[in-house]
Amino acid sequence: MGDTTNAPAFGNLDAFNLKSVETGGLINEDVMQKIFDISKIPLPFTDMVGSTRHKNERFDWVVDELNKPQLDNFVADGADAGAPEEISGGRVGNHSQISDKVLAVSYRADASDTIGRAKELAYRLTRANQEIRRDVEAIALWNQASDAGSGSGTDDHLIGNAITNATKTGTLATWIETSVRNADGSDGTASAGGYNYSTGLTEEATMGAGTALSFQGIKDCQMDVYMQGGDPTVFMSTPAVISKLSTYLFDNEARVANLVSDQGAPANKKATALSSVNVIVGDFGTLKLVPNRLMPDAVGDGTGSHYAFLLDPEYVSLSYLEGYRTDTLAKTGLAEKRQISVDWGVRVHTEKAHGMIINIDPNADAVA
């Protein structure tokens, strides 16, 4: 007797019988020729700040400021000129950092009929370009001290190993030292990093356990920057921190923000209730609340405290020794190899134009 494993049930040939035919069945796959991706998100910091260039691995710039008003500035009629004032200002600098993505696609993979893209190599190149830009966005906002490198060694891709040859750029969190507050509003300058004129390097900020974000602390930090001559316009932090702050502005007893409806809308149009805050109008200017999904925490793995920046985008930029480029690597087999790289650094034109709030507990409700 023949094999009756896939015999029609009740004399009918149904879809189950067709799917059960060895090998793989007889029903064509129905796969939509489109790839749905939610990770192609904006780069708020990169898009916000300017772009500058540098010509060497170490790049410097000069910072300066006016002296404070001199309240005893009076001299007698006919008096001789006094001693000239000392030169103020200083020269600071940063190091350039190379970031890259390497990919290899076999000839067969590139020639195959794949789902959602015409050519695998082109698709992978597009993805890698997006990924390296995400890396730069996240690193620029992290707490990474600058490093001149040793100029020796061969492998700088083993994360977690003691890498000494790679130069590292001093990122934004390591520059701000004048206007720093803890989450509870207390003075955090003792924990700040900053530029070390003796070593020519930036130093990491010391970040500890998180506490609830204080709204008064934000106002005090804004005033700190204002008193230095700065006018920050952006409050940037993680989505969790922005959400807690927005909720506080609506739910606290003082009710800083009110629930309102659309104004000026046509009578026949339904009004939309506005229940979120994206701008704080403070005593010293307006701060736009900007959530950044790529902003890391203090540890970098999702387990540390969070922090926030009060920024004036005019006084910070991403600087490039070599912009984003794609190079074809030598063939060593039946594959196409590409390397995408960028040689870049953070240029904080003057750190006194910015402020930072550290040690924020993202799970704690914001307080007054």
pLDDT in tens, 23-35: 777 666 665 555 5
- Domain spans in the chain, listed from the N-terminal domain onward: 44-64+90-152+165-264+271-360
The predicted pLDDT at position 80 comes to 86
Q: Which of 227, 244, 219, 203 is nearest to 68 (CA)?
A: 227
Q: Which two tokens stand for residue 126?
A: 């597009």
- Give the pLDDT confidence of 224-255 residue by residue, as tens digits: 999 999 999 999 999 999 999 988 887 766 56
Buried b (16+ CB within 10 A) or exposed e, 36-58: eeeeeeebbbbebbeeeebeebe
Q: What is the pLDDT of residue 31?
A: 57
Q: Give residue 298's pLDDT.
A: 93
> Buried (b) or exposed (e) across 264-278, using 16+ Cβ within 10 A?
eeeeeeeeeeeeebe
pLDDT of residue 1: 47
Exposure string for 218-239, b = 16+ CB within 10 A, e = fewer: bbbbbebbbebebebbbbbbbe
Contacts of 172 (CB under 8 A, 6+ apart): 140, 141, 309, 316, 346, 348, 354
Q: Among residues 100, 127, 120, which one has the least CA distance to residue 40?
A: 127
Mean pLDDT, consecutive 10-residue stretches, the chain (368 aa), reads 54 71 68 59 92 95 83 85 77 96 85 71 87 95 92 52 76 97 96 96 95 95 96 96 90 63 61 68 91 94 95 96 93 89 96 97 94
The secondary structure of residue 168, as a DSSP letter, is B
* Encoded amino acid at 120, one letter: E
